[in-house]
């Protein structure tokens, strides 16, 4: 469940990432901790180390955290980062159960799906800069494609590995990946599941800046602070113009992706792909 911390706000310097604005605790949303700096930049940190696997709970938490920052005048930009080795290594196929006590429902009574939460996340209004220090794999790549910008280390790894699992891509990569790298490069990445590092990610437009590993958060914060120093109403207006109806496109994309994923999960190739990944071997797909 998504919960907001009840501890009293504290203002302390944050020396660990190379900058020193006073950081005030804003709250804890599930496994996402949020603090706001005196420079109007919030840090939203995913705390599921080392892999930061995602599920419905985590995406709900991210949507709730950034949605709350949308309504906070002290916040004008967000750094999205993760504790541990990886940014988001996708879904944990070894644990397919929900962490919720009871199934959740949408307002219309339909079962709440991960992609419903993804739509809410893409509907948020505050500019976001991602600090990608490690793997952004599968759906984790989809999470990395949500922000406005990505700062990557050479050690970062990006992969749309779905086809290597016998699966269809998801998390709106149908829409977001071609916007960043172009249709042809998106096809290559989706067909092959090839893993690329931070340097290549910047070269093809998947990431915006390459910095040493120990400077990733600092560089992300610097860019976010530049954004926050601009007129907030103007930035919001420009973002609305440039992103356009992206949230609606995400809804349409994830509806299609979910349908494709549902039938592919009934195939032998999906079973083989997941087994091969767990056993760390090459899959032997049969096309059935």
Give the pLDDT confidence of 79-99 residue by residue, as tens digits.
Answer: 999 999 999 998 887 665 444
Mean pLDDT of 270-283: 93
Query: 10 Å Cβ neighbour count for 146?
Result: 23
Least confident range from 85-99, 100-114, 126-140: namely: 100-114
Question: Which of 122, 123, 201 minimizes the C-alpha distance to 160?
Answer: 201
Q: Are 141 and 160 in contact (CB under 8 A)?
A: yes
pLDDT at position 4 is: 41
Backbone CA torsion sign across 267, 273, 279, 281 = positive
d(CA 135, CA 269): 25
Q: Where are the alpha helices (DSSP H) in the chain?
A: 56-70, 114-122, 139-145, 173-181, 183-192, 198-204, 216-228, 232-243, 246-264, 268-278
pLDDT at position 143 is: 97
CA 277 from chain center: how many Å?
22
pTM for the structure as a whole: 0.88
d(CA 247, CA 80): 19
Burial of 232 (0-12, 13-18, 19+ CB in 10 A): middle
* CATH superfamily of domain region 11-91+112-216+224-278: 2-enoyl-CoA Hydratase; Chain A, domain 1 (3.90.226.10)
Angle between helices 246-264 and 114-122 (to 10 degrees): 160
**Structural tokens at position 149:** 């910008």
Least confident range from 2-16, 141-155, 174-188: namely: 2-16
Q: Are 152 and 216 in contact (CB under 8 A)?
A: yes
- For the cut 70, the answer to whether the pLDDT of residue 7 exceeds it is no
Confidence of residue 154 (pLDDT cuts 50, 70, 90): very high
pLDDT tens digits, 26-69: 999 999 999 999 999 999 999 999 999 999 999 999 999 999 99
Could you check whether the bond before residue 50 is cis, i.e. omega within 30 degrees of 0? Answer: yes
Mean pLDDT of 106-134: 91
pLDDT at position 55 is: 94
- For the cut 70, the answer to whether the pLDDT of residue 232 exceeds it is yes
User: Domain spans of the chain?
Assistant: 11-91+112-216+224-278
pLDDT at position 95 is: 65
């Amino acid at each position: 469940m998504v919960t907001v911390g009840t501890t009293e706000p504290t203002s302390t310097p944050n020396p660990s990432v190379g900058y020193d604005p006073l950081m005030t605790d804003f709250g804890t949303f599930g496994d996402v901790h949020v603090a706001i700096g005196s420079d109007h930049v919030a840090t939203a940190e995913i705390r599921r180390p080392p892999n930061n696997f995602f599920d419905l709970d985590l995406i709900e938490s991210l949507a709730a955290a950034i949605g709350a920052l949308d309504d906070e005048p002290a916040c004008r930009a967000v750094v999205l980062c993760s504790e541990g080795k990886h940014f988001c290594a996708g879904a944990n196929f070894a644990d397919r159960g929900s962490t919720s006590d009871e199934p959740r429902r949408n307002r219309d009574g339909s079962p709440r799906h991960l992609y419903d939460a993804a739509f809410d996340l893409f509907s948020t209004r505050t500019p976001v800069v991602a600090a990608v220090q490690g793997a952004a794999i599968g759906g984790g790549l989809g999470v990395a494609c949500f922000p406005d910008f990505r700062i990557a280390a050479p050690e970062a790894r990006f992969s749309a590995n779905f086809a290597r699992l016998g699966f269809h891509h998801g998390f709106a990569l149908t829409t977001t990946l071609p916007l960043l790298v172009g249709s042809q490069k998106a096809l290559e990445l989706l067909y092959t599941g090839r893993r690329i590092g931070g340097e290549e990610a910047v070269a093809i437009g998947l990431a915006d800046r390459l910095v040493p590993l120990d400077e990733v958060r600092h560089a992300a914060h610097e860019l976010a602070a530049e954004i926050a120093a601009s007129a907030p109403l103007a930035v919001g207006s420009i973002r609305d113009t440039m992103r356009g109806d992206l949230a609606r496109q995400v809804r349409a994309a994830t509806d299609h992706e979910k349908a494709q994923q549902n039938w592919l999960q009934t195939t032998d190739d999906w079973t083989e792909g997941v087994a091969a990944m767990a056993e760390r071997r090459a899959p032997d797909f049969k096309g059935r």
